[in-house]
Chain A
Amino acid sequence: MSIEKIPPWIRWAFLPVASPLTLVIVSIVATIGSKLLVFIGGERGWSENFYSYLLVPGISGYFAVMVTYVLAPNGKIKAAMVFALIWIAVCGYISFIFVASGQWKSLLFPISMTVGCALAVLGSRE
């Protein structure tokens, strides 16, 4: 079933839900995948921290924005941009909280997610 067959008003209504939902689902799937890769990679593979702090948030951010691009009936780039800005603002908020509470290593998480969101917008412009 093509997404174009879904009435535009349903797609618009679902858009605010789709982005956070995609973030959650992709995070879960990516986390499971990363645990498998850590297990398979063993001591020589990348550490769990690489996946948790770098790859998973980046991928989740990317797809959370990409889903809005795909779902929006029109003005796709603007819709993707709006959601990217929202998620990046959330990352800014989280970054400050981490800095204020001294959890410097955890800063990788929001930075990685910011990059993922930005790449989704910049990539969708092409």
Chain B
Amino acid sequence: MSERNSLIAFFIAFLVGVTIGYFHYLKIKPTDEQKTQLQIDRVIRTELCDRLVSDIARFKEAPHSFKRTSLTVLMGESRESAKALLPDLPDSHPIQFHGNQESLFSECPTNARQWVKISAVFPEFYEQEKAFVESKKAQGLSLPGFFGGLPITQKSTERRVALVIGNSAYTARPLKNPVNDAKDIAQFLRNTGFTVTELLDADLAKMRAAVDRFSLDLSNNDVGLIYYSGHGIEYKGRNYFVPVNASIQDEQEIPRQAFDATEILEKVGRFKSGAMILIVDACRNSPIFSKFRSAKVGLETMAVPNGMIVAFSASPGQIAGDGNGRNSPYTAALIKEAQIPSRKIEDILKETRRAVSDETSGRQVPWYNSSLVGDFYFLKN
């Protein structure tokens, strides 16, 4: 076969591949919602990379006066920019990044990808960076690469561990948002230095095992956090989290088929050394539970051991909404308020309460009960 014929054969083979790709794409074509989300992801990615590059440039210009912007704040700003850059999107459409952390920085330059590996909570490491840059400048040497011989990652001074549970796939009355809530909360917690175990659509056995493992992990950590989103029910003064495989036909089956939240308090009550946070976005109304005479609407108050804060998405006797967007009103507000740096958790929960109460016209008023010793910040400048 001559060279010319070979090239023609290559071209035809390429076209055959394109044709197969076309027909296959028709089958796997993203829906309009998926296309919109891909567009949002792309814009957020680009905005975030630009901000990171600009942060690095500011550091190089003035290392003494440089103040690093935390990744969570940069994400918040990127999302705001994305809102402005996508004016065709309806206001109610949530602007959230849905890809994984790896893909978030995939289009950033190499130095920006290295930059984000330095957590914002390590001022002592930042001091090392400044000293390194100054010493190289004093020697008249050009920096070999932005981070030279410095380690890329550092461990946090405060060890944080979290268990995040989101149950959506109930057989009888599935919920739309708990899995989304859990994923978004997990991502936020990771960005603030937590080691997160994410449990989605969990049955009773998995929930028990996860809580057991979590309570063992607590002893090696300074801060523990459990977040639950899904159905919850109160029965005889105790609150229960409903696993996805529960098939509760009679109220007396509740203690057997649902997870008693008091177990969490008992297990973590032994955790003496640090702060423990329990956030519950439950009690979405379900007709399964409303038929029970003695099972009330809403969850009950919980006695809080020392060093702990418990936050609920609705006051006792109220129902928490699942929400029309990606997240429940409570979780959406919580993530938004928690991203503001240097805010104590109590202030975050107060602002969350205000936001949710305003949004639901007072029908859902979150509450919390705290016996924390000392202040806890998700993000601190």
Contacts and interface: CB of A to CB of B under 8 A. Distances in A.
Is the A/B pair a real complex?
yes
Contacts of A100: 21-22, 25, 29
Contact of B17 (A47, A89, A125): A89
A97 B21 contact: yes
Contact of A122 (B3, B16, B21, B24): B3
Contacts, number: 77
Interface in A75-115: 77, 81, 84-86, 88-97, 100-102, 114
A48 interface: yes
B62 interface: no
A66 interface: no
Contacts of B13: 84-86, 88-89, 92
B3 A93 contact: no
Given A93-B18, A96-B18, A88 B145 contact: no
Interface in B106-153: 109-110, 144-145
A88 B8 CA distance: 12
A91 B14 contact: yes
B7 interface: yes
A118 B21 contact: no
Interface of B is mostly: helix
Contacts of A121: 6
B10 A85 contact: yes
Contacts of A101: 30, 38
Interface residues of B, number: 26
A18 interface: no
A96 B10 contact: no
B25 A118 contact: no
Interface in B35-55: 38, 42
B209 interface: no
A125 B25 contact: no
B3 A43 contact: no
B86 interface: no
A43 B30 CA distance: 38
A7 interface: no
B9 interface: yes
Interface of A: 38-39, 42-43, 47-48, 77, 81, 84-86, 88-97, 100-102, 114, 117-118, 121-122, 125
6 contacts: A42-B145, A47-B110, A91-B14, A92-B16, A92-B18, A96-B17
Interface of B: 1, 3, 6-7, 9-10, 13-22, 24-25, 29-30, 38, 42, 109-110, 144-145
